[in-house]
Structure 1
Amino acid sequence: VVDKLLSHLDEIGEIISIASKRVGLYPRRDWDMGVILDLSIHDIYLQEKIMGKKEIVNAFGLKKCYKDSIHADAAFIILDFGTAIGQIESNWLTPSKFRRINVNGEFGGISADFITQKINIRTGIDLQGEHPITKDTSFTPLRTDEPLKREINNFLYDKEQDVTLDDGIRALDIALKIVNS
């Protein structure tokens, strides 16, 4: 899904904002971390990848602890890329599982659902004219693969990893900054 999304970024022009939502039920596993290190970190990495060479200038978040007083069960994060804003919503409190991202640019937007792997591209035609219209294009794969399985196979068997050590360290640094704020 991410590769398909990246291949269509030029259609929406300069990126203005990115919004990610990754929510679901509380995990059955018991570990010593909160929702930011479990879920939000993936969207921190993805938003950095989408923004390309633009680094995160500033990051901050609001978090709430419900199950215990130490680890966040819900988080709302803002990433400042200088010319664009990233927003991440993550929680373990929602009875429905969502994994979505919306990328908005000067000429349109792209939305992707990581569960269904459906991508929708909306662009404007003649937006400054008398008869502006929007054009929607959707892609739904006929064969889907499980992203985590693909990542693990990439890590174990490929010579070059899609997610580098530097990518992981950068995402972890931002996530820890938010956890410790």
Structure 2
Amino acid sequence: MLRVGVVGVGMMGQHHVRVYSELAKERKVELVGIADADLERAKELAKKYGTVPYGDYSELAREGLDAVDIAVPTSLHKDVALEFINHGTSVLIEKPIAETVENAEAIIEAAEEKGVTLMVGHIERFNPAVLKLRELIDRGELGKVVTISAKRVGPMAERIRDVGIIIDLGVHDIDVISYLFGQRVRTVYARAGNVLHPAGVEDHALITLGFKDGTGIVETNWLTPHKTRTLNVVGTAGIAYLDYIEQSLKLYNQEWIKEAKIEKKEPLRNEIEHFIECVETGKRPIVDGEAGLHALKVALLAQKSARTGKVLEVEE
């Protein structure tokens, strides 16, 4: 049984703790402890889920964990990840992998040197509707895919202070669109700005992604009063409409309309179970460090493109 821990128990981290607690009840893991700079918050959740609270993640790192789940602010990813990796602990890091390419590369290199599993939490890769859509694309149901466009909009997120919307939200669809095309992004062009967010970071963006065989478009903002998470795929033989939240997928062509049968399941649970399997078996995660690094590179270039007004090439 894997000994696991969670670092960062804020808005997202608390859900990670809940899932590990459920898995612990099923005797799939042992939730050794949770750490947060807000020790009272850690104590509150530890009491609720029957584990041990830590105010200093370094103390948790010394507990001999097999795996740790890191859900701290992006700017802290490198320091926290390296602390655990250096103790021989496998790591799941919430997206994006880091705030800079250099820090992301440092995490990847350390994990390779220590021989531990490194996975990046791009949760939409584990959405049952996305997995079904990739299956249908691979089967040729839509013919040759020409464009993929995503809309990820909603109210302002006051909790996000250290990054803009491209890094916080746009990176989801950058990764998913690349996954659905089965290709890396080659060029990036973006327009972005700040209207309301008090931190001064961009709170709306429109990103165009150039691929070898098609185009991706990501629309994202913190200005829309209601949350929308959708993705459309246009192919030579039809079009697909996906709703991330509803986990629904509809396909249209000239003759029929049909809805895919999807067994709905919490993407976070799927993600964490995959991480545990990779740690146990040694197989490479489907969202490894390199995939996380590519999504980050593209997101950072989108920010730069918005500042310069230029189409930028993605270097590999």
Q: Is the shorter-chain TM-score for this pair beyond 0.5, marking a shared fold?
A: yes
* 1:45 CA drift (Å): 0.5
Paired residue for 2:185?
Answer: 56
Which structure would you say has the larger Rg?
A: 2
Does the alignment pair 1:37 with 2:167? yes
User: Can you give the 5+ residue segments of structure 2 that lack an aligned partner in the other structure?
Assistant: 1-128, 279-283, 306-316
Find the aligned partners of 1:116 and 1:16 in 2 and give their Cα distance: 25
Tell me the amino acid that sits aligned with residue 257 of structure 2.
D
Find out whether 1:164 has 2:294 as its counterpart.
Answer: no
Partner of 2:259: 138
Which amino acid letter does the alignment assign opposite residue 65 of structure 1?
N
CA distance in 2 between counterparts of 1:22 and 1:93 reads 11
Aligned-residue CA RMSD in angstroms? 1.6
Choose the corresponding residue for 1:17, options 139, 147, 161.
147
What amino acid is the match of 1:158?
A: E
CA distance in 2, matches of 1:14, 1:165: 29
Using structure 2 for the length normalisation, give the TM-score.
Answer: 0.51
- Residue equivalent to 2:87: none
Identity of aligned residues (%): 32
Whether the aligned pair in 2 keeps the contact of 1:63 and 1:74 (CA below 8 Å) is yes
Greater helix share, structure number: 2
Q: Is the 8 A contact 1:16 1:84 kept in 2?
A: yes
Scaled by the length of structure 1, the TM-score of the pair is 0.87
For 2:12, the equivalent position in structure 1 comes to: none
Runs of 4+ in 1 over 3 A off after TM superposition: none
What is the Cα deviation at residue 69 of structure 1? 7.0
Deviation larger for 166-175 or 79-88 = 79-88
Task: For CA contacts below 8 A with separation 6 or more, give which structure has more relative contact order.
Answer: 1
Asked whether the 8 Å contact 2:232–2:239 carries over to 1, the reply is yes
Give the corresponding residue for 2:28: none
Rate the CA distance shift 1:153–1:93 in 2: closer, same or farther, 3 A: farther
Give the total of aligned pairs: 169
- Report the CA distance between 1:140 and its aligned residue: 5.3
